[in-house]
Structure 1
């Protein structure tokens, strides 16, 4: 399954106005069948090739978001990855909720040292 281009456009639009990315370069990169959005070279959020979004969060906040939101831990090769969450498309159907996740992912990515190509 390819990523949802409409969802990717919504992510792009929200990132433009996200205060935490001010002064940081926002780039896009196709990966794992999805479209990732980087802030300062660090992954912030992605339109997933499996539907919905992937969000990068502080690893020590993973459990909090899993317990208090519709997010689930991202799994790769059967292993749960701390600091990475999946949120289903139905759970980000409105811009306010999607904007909250964009803010969380962008803020965390912006807090990391910038990566240079």
Structure 2
């Protein structure tokens, strides 16, 4: 199952409307959106949940408050949740206003986020 192309287009359109200079990158069956070479958000196919989820990098300051919402799940790939990152279920980004809310949180946090170290290319 591939990530939700319709959701990807919605994210692209909103980021363009917000005049965000982003890039996107396919990763492990999902799609990652980056701003200033840092993860902004993404689309993750969750086999347990059975649907595409919005991955949102929102920062630790709002993390706990947002996790209280029924549409939010801790971002957990390894059995240990990543603080500052959440998954949003489709009910949480169904409307354009809801999707815009999550993207605004991601965009607001992005300048505070640390960039990943670039990987060295294998020779």
In the alignment, what sits opposite 1:46? 42
Larger Rg: 2
Shift of 1:57: 1.0
- Partners of 1:59 and 1:66 lie apart in 2 by 11
Distance 1:113 1:91, change over 3 A: closer
Equivalenced residue count is: 113
**TM-score of the superposition, structure 2-length normalised?**
0.80
Distance 1:114 1:81, change over 3 A: closer
In the alignment, what sits opposite 2:29? 33
In the alignment, what sits opposite 2:4? 4
Q: Which runs of 4+ in 1 moved over 2 A?
A: 110-117
- Partners of 1:9 and 1:104 lie apart in 2 by 19
Distance 1:44 1:69, change over 3 A: farther
Could you tell me whether the CA contact under 8 Å between 1:2 and 1:34 is conserved in 2?
Answer: yes
Q: Deviations over 1:36-95 (max 9, x none)?
A: 110111111112222120000112321111124621110011111101100011221110
Shift of 1:114: 6.6
Q: Which 5+ residue runs of structure 1 have no aligned equivalent? A: none
In the alignment, what sits opposite 1:13? 13
- Partners of 1:46 and 1:59 lie apart in 2 by 18
- 66-75 vs 107-116, greater mean Cα deviation: 107-116
Shift of 1:113: 6.2
In the alignment, what sits opposite 1:78? 79
Aligned partner of residue 76 in structure 1, secondary structure: coil
